């Protein structure tokens, strides 16, 4: 079997191929450590050059609605959250969503926890690491439209739900509430282009390679730093695509946070990372990808 040289892979690729971000995630999640040690040159970066646990390449940590930067490191997250192996209603969030472990609200498959659920200590620790590897809402597609997002089943994120509605795969897009205390009444989220996200991971890996990290786990917020409402996202799509979207305002959805977005200062200062794509460009690339999927001529053939 040929040895996988991710060192040169990341040197050559960057924004040109955002698919490597999830490809490496797949490697970590699906291949045994022994395989990575024997076949992936970059594995030493993940495992730590001195045998210590290495930080996730780049991570988006939970932030407050005001965008405050969280305390750094797994140890401090644990000290702040505490661990509960039985699901409980968190009074700090109005009892919803149901919380478990080190402040986790969803399982790895994205489904919510329910009262009566329980997990082991190992599962709680694993969920925490998964949270530290998660990103804010990555959206859009590579400008070439050769790489993009293809949800299995009904989309759970807004942008593919928008494009699938516009292309006719979904009959209608539902907006969950328009009476929140925001500029247009809909929830605010931080939408980041997948190419910007890929670039942040590349910079984080270089940061590790240069041994500039001070802790075994360091957290970087990745996002635009501003956030957009659901209705602003719809308007951006309609402008970028020239297509009117069939959507309807519905009731609030239980557990939705009013506004959440990243303070990206540390990623800018430490990694030298900046976002390049705005919301309209996110929508334009996502729409181009959706149209290519429908054509079926350049994708999967």
pLDDT at 48: 37
Overall average pLDDT of the 100-107 stretch: 80
Averaged pLDDT score across all residues of the chain: 75
Q: In which band, very low, low, confident or very high, does the pLDDT at 277 lie, cut at 50, 70 and 90?
A: very high
Q: Residue 82 above 60 pLDDT? A: yes
Give the three-state DSSP class for 5.
coil
DSSP state for residue 68 in the 8-state scheme: P
Overall average pLDDT of the 23-44 stretch: 40
Residue with tokens 């490809």: 23
| Gap between the Cα atoms of 291 and 17, Å rounded | 20
What is the Cβ-side half-sphere exposure of residue 17, based on CA atoms within 13 angstroms?
A: 9
Give the three-state DSSP class for 97.
coil
Tokens of 142: 């590579």
Note the pLDDT tens digit of each residue in 155-194: 888 999 999 999 999 999 999 999 999 999 999 999 999 9
Note the pLDDT tens digit of each residue in 232-253: 999 999 999 999 999 999 998 8
DSSP state for residue 109 in the 8-state scheme: T
Domains, the chain = 6-60+137-295 (3.90.25.10), 63-134 (1.10.530.40)
| Gap between the Cα atoms of 218 and 55, Å rounded | 6
pLDDT at 132: 64
Q: Residue 215 above 90 pLDDT? A: no
């Amino acid at each position: 079997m040929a040895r996988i040289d991710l060192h040169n892979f990341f040197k050559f690729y960057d924004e040109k191929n955002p698919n490597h971000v999830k490809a490496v995630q797949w490697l970590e999640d699906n291949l045994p450590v022994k395989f990575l040690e024997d076949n992936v040159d970059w594995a030493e970066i993940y495992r730590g050059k001195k045998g210590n646990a290495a930080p996730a390449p780049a991570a988006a940590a939970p932030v407050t609605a005001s965008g405050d930067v969280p305390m750094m490191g797994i140890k401090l997250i644990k000290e702040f959250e505490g661990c509960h192996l039985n699901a409980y209603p968190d009074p700090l969030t109005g009892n919803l969503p149901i919380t478990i472990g080190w402040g986790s609200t969803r399982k790895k498959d994205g489904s919510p926890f329910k009262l009566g659920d329980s997990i082991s200590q190992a599962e709680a620790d694993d969920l925490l690491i998964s949270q530290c590897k998660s990103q804010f809402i990555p959206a859009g597609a590579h400008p070439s439209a050769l790489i993009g997002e293809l949800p299995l089943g009904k989309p759970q994120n807004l942008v593919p739900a928008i494009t699938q509605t516009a292309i006719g795969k979904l009959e209608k897009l539902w907006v969950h509430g328009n009476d929140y205390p925001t500029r247009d009444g809909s929830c605010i989220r931080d939408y980041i282009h997948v190419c910007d996200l890929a670039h942040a991971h590349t910079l984080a890996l270089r940061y590790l390679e240069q041994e500039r990290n001070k802790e075994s786990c360091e957290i970087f917020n990745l996002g635009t730093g501003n956030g957009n409402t659901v209705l602003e996202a719809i308007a951006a799509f309609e402008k970028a695509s020239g297509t009117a979207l069939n959507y309807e305002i519905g009731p609030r959805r239980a557990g939705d946070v009013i506004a959440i977005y990243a303070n990206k200062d540390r990623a800018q200062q430490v990694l030298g990372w900046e976002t390049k794509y705005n919301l309209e460009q996110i929508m334009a690339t996502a729409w181009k990808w959706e149209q290519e999927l429908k054509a079926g001529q350049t994708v999967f053939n």
